[in-house]
């Protein structure tokens, strides 16, 4: 084994360890947060409960907002390990390891003979804020990133070994990405393939690719599109036929053109991603050396690796396209983070002079400032209204991790940029683990719906129907293992006939009343929830109350 391969293997082991630790931290300290994680787990739970794998449901109603692959894989794990809460998080953690394996492989191909770039790309990617947050989160984004990276790897393989094989792999990867989160997967891969004339000649000049025949190249792109469409339609068509015309329209319209042009959800201005990019790549864009490296690479073309243009065609079109869409969420760009990390790593590797001591120590300052901010919050509990006062001592774990991270950075080898980047990444991951164990554990307790979900399960087991006042996202179904849907009413007036027909029933209402002892009538169950309270009232107790009273309590909508 060559030293380069040995170094690459060690990098992979350390990055995989980081993914494992982040997943374990999520398992230990992070409840399933409503509404997203609770909703997706409930879709998987209803699939498990009903045995129906084509038509997805949420609270008993057809659910066409997301494709089925995540739910299929959760159910596959449950069929092996039994119904549990740990498998969904471990599943996403495994996709994180797979994604990082592909990141290192792609970066090695793009870096060519430039040492250190692939390793830095890996450690930068795994230590960006949103990559860490979504490692172990029961969401689609990291899973989508893995399939996008597999598609990107397929395009690179097609440049190195012309033939149908790499395009078949690319088509399968994009198709699985579509089954994960919809046609958005195509937007992350197709621009790279179409813009091959921009980047491929540079790889050819560097000896990292073969001169293509453009007719054959674009024929391969068409082949990949056909395969991707076939994979996606293998589920979409049967599901649309089973669900009817309106449900079919939701699958084929709402998940494609509506999200681009007409959606009213997550509306953001065009410049949204430009101003949130530092948050997406936190903490790396806070470091002076990163900016010096990017400027150096931009000014001196000879300092760039052969894959620089490839990374630009990977990142820039995605950034522009998503900025043009009406609906925006910062995690939508997560699959492009490895491309951004490669540009940062290439910039750092292009520095003509080593890091200055103040540049190497600048990251430590941010950890000290974050620790000081948390200490201030610890002394002023009113700043953290989600956190109970008796939970504040848990912040000590976070403070200790931040202090240790700062010391690691002060003692890091500051002249070797590759090793320094590895130490920075290790410090960032350590800090994230400390945030989970301390600050995160205290903060996220306000999102844990296990107590109220257990109460609802007991009510259903006792034969008591349950209603929900306000929009319901399914967050109680899986956590409570509820086997019957909740009755959902948008207003108290609409719920009034149900109260008369089911006096033995129970009603879920959200309230912001600070002094819960003043609630009249008193709920039979009440817990804190996201800065307010969620309560369960007896239907018989609510029948004598006015609609205005009930609507005034429900502040969730």
pLDDT tens, residue by residue, 23-80? 999 999 999 988 899 999 999 999 999 999 999 999 999 998 899 999 999 999 999 9
Residues 381 and 237 in one domain: no
In a domain, residue 187? The reply is yes
Sheet of 466-469, strand order = 487-489, 466-469, 506-511, 532-538, 525-529
pLDDT surpassing 80 at residue 400: yes
pLDDT given at position 378: 63
Helix (H, G, I), strand (E, B) or coil at 528: strand
In a domain, residue 351? The reply is no
Tokens of 165: 């094989």
Residue in 24, 29, 154 with CA at minimum distance from that of residue 93: 24
Residues 434 and 458 in one domain: no
Cα–Cα distance measured from residue 300 to residue 349, given in angstroms and rounded to the nearest whole number: 12
Tokens of 94: 């495994």
Residues 147 and 231 in one domain: yes
Q: Stretch 500-518: mean pLDDT, rounded?
A: 85
pLDDT given at position 524: 94
Q: What is the number of structural domains in the chain?
A: 3
Residues 405 and 535 in one domain: no
DSSP 242-306: HH-HHHHHIIIIITTHIIIII--SSB--TTHHHHHHHHHTTTGGG-HHHHHHHHHHHH-GGGS-T
Residues 124 and 200 in one domain: yes
Helix (H, G, I), strand (E, B) or coil at 62: strand
Domain range enclosing 481: 450-553
In a domain, residue 11? The reply is yes
Non-local (6+) Cβ contacts of 209 within 8 A are 159, 160, 200, 203
**Domain C-terminal end among 266, 281, 312:** 266
pLDDT tens, residue by residue, 129-164? 999 999 999 999 999 999 999 999 999 999 998 899
pLDDT surpassing 90 at residue 265: no
pLDDT given at position 341: 98
Q: Stretch 523-543: mean pLDDT, rounded?
A: 90
Helix (H, G, I), strand (E, B) or coil at 526: strand
pLDDT surpassing 50 at residue 407: yes
pLDDT surpassing 50 at residue 459: yes
Helix (H, G, I), strand (E, B) or coil at 241: helix
Cα–Cα distance measured from residue 511 to residue 547, given in angstroms and rounded to the nearest whole number: 14
H helix and E strand count, the chain: 25, 7
**Domain C-terminal end among 266, 293, 313:** 266
Cα–Cα distance measured from residue 160 to residue 208, given in angstroms and rounded to the nearest whole number: 7
pLDDT tens, residue by residue, 307-355? 999 999 999 999 999 999 887 889 999 999 999 999 999 999 998 877 8
Residues 409 and 517 in one domain: no
In a domain, residue 88? The reply is yes
DSSP 124-167: HHHTSHHHHHHTT-SSSHHHHHHHHHHHHHHHHHHHHS-SHHHH
Q: Model-level pTM?
A: 0.93
In a domain, residue 10? The reply is yes
Residues 434 and 471 in one domain: no
């Amino acid at each position: 084994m060559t030293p380069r391969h040995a170094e690459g293997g060690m990098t992979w082991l350390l990055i995989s360890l980081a993914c494992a630790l982040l997943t374990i931290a999520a398992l230990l300290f992070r409840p399933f947060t409503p509404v997203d994680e609770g909703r997706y787990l409930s879709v998987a739970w209803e699939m498990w409960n009903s045995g129906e794998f084509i038509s997805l449901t949420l609270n008993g109603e057809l659910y066409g907002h997301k494709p089925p692959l995540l739910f299929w894989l959760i159910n596959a794990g449950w069929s092996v390990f039994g119904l549990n809460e740990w498998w969904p998080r471990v599943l996403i953690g495994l996709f994180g390891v797979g994604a990082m394996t592909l990141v290192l492989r792609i970066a090695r191909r793009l870096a060519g003979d430039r040492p250190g770039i692939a390793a830095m790309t890996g450690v930068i990617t795994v230590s960006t804020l949103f990559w860490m947050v979504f490692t172990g989160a029961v969401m689609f984004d990291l899973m989508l990133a893995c399939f996008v990276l597999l598609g990107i790897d397929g395009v690179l393989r097609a440049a190195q070994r012309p033939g149908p094989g790499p395009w078949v792999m690319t088509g399968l990867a994009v198709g699985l990405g579509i089954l994960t989160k919809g046609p958005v997967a195509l937007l992350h891969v197709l621009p790279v393939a179409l813009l091959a004339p921009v980047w491929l000649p540079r790889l050819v000049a560097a000896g990292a690719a073969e001169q293509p025949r453009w007719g054959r190249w674009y024929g391969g792109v068409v082949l990949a599109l056909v395969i991707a469409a076939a994979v996606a339609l293998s589920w979409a068509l049967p599901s649309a036929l089973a669900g009817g015309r309106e449900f079919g329209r939701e699958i084929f319209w709402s998940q494609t053109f509506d999200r681009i042009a007409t959606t009213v959800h997550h509306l953001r201005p065009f410049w949204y991603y430009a101003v949130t990019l530092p948050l997406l790549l936190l903490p790396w864009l806070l470091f002076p050396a990163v900016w010096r490296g990017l400027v150096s690479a931009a000014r001196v073309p000879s300092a760039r690796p052969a894959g620089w243009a490839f990374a630009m065609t990977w990142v820039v079109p995605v950034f522009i396209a998503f900025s043009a869409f009406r609906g925006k969420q910062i995690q939508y760009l997560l699959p492009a983070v490895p491309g951004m990390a490669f540009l940062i790593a290439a910039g750092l590797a292009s520095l003509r002079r080593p890091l200055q001591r103040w540049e190497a120590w600048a990251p430590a300052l941010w950890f000290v400032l974050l620790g000081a901010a948390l200490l201030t919050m610890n002394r002023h509990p009113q700043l953290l209204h989600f956190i109970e006062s008796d939970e504040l001592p848990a912040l000590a774990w976070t403070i200790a991790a931040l202090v240790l991270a700062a010391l690691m950075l002060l003692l890091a080898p500051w002249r070797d940029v590759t090793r320094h980047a590895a130490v920075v990444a290790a410090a960032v991951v350590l800090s994230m683990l400390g945030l989970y164990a301390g600050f995160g554990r205290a903060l996220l307790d306000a999102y844990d719906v296990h107590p109220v979900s257990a109460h609802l399960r007991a009510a259903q087991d006792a034969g008591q129907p349950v209603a929900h006042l306000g929009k319901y996202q399914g967050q109680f179904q899986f956590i409570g293992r509820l086997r019957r849907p909740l009755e959902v009413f948008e207003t108290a007036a609409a719920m009034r006939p149900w109260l008369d027909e089911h006096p033995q029933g129970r009603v879920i209402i959200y309230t912001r009343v600070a002094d819960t002892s003043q609630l009249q009538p008193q709920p039979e169950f009440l817990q804190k929830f996201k800065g307010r309270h969620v309560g369960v009232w007896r239907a018989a107790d609510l029948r004598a109350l006015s609609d205005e009273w009930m609507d005034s309590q429900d502040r969730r909508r």
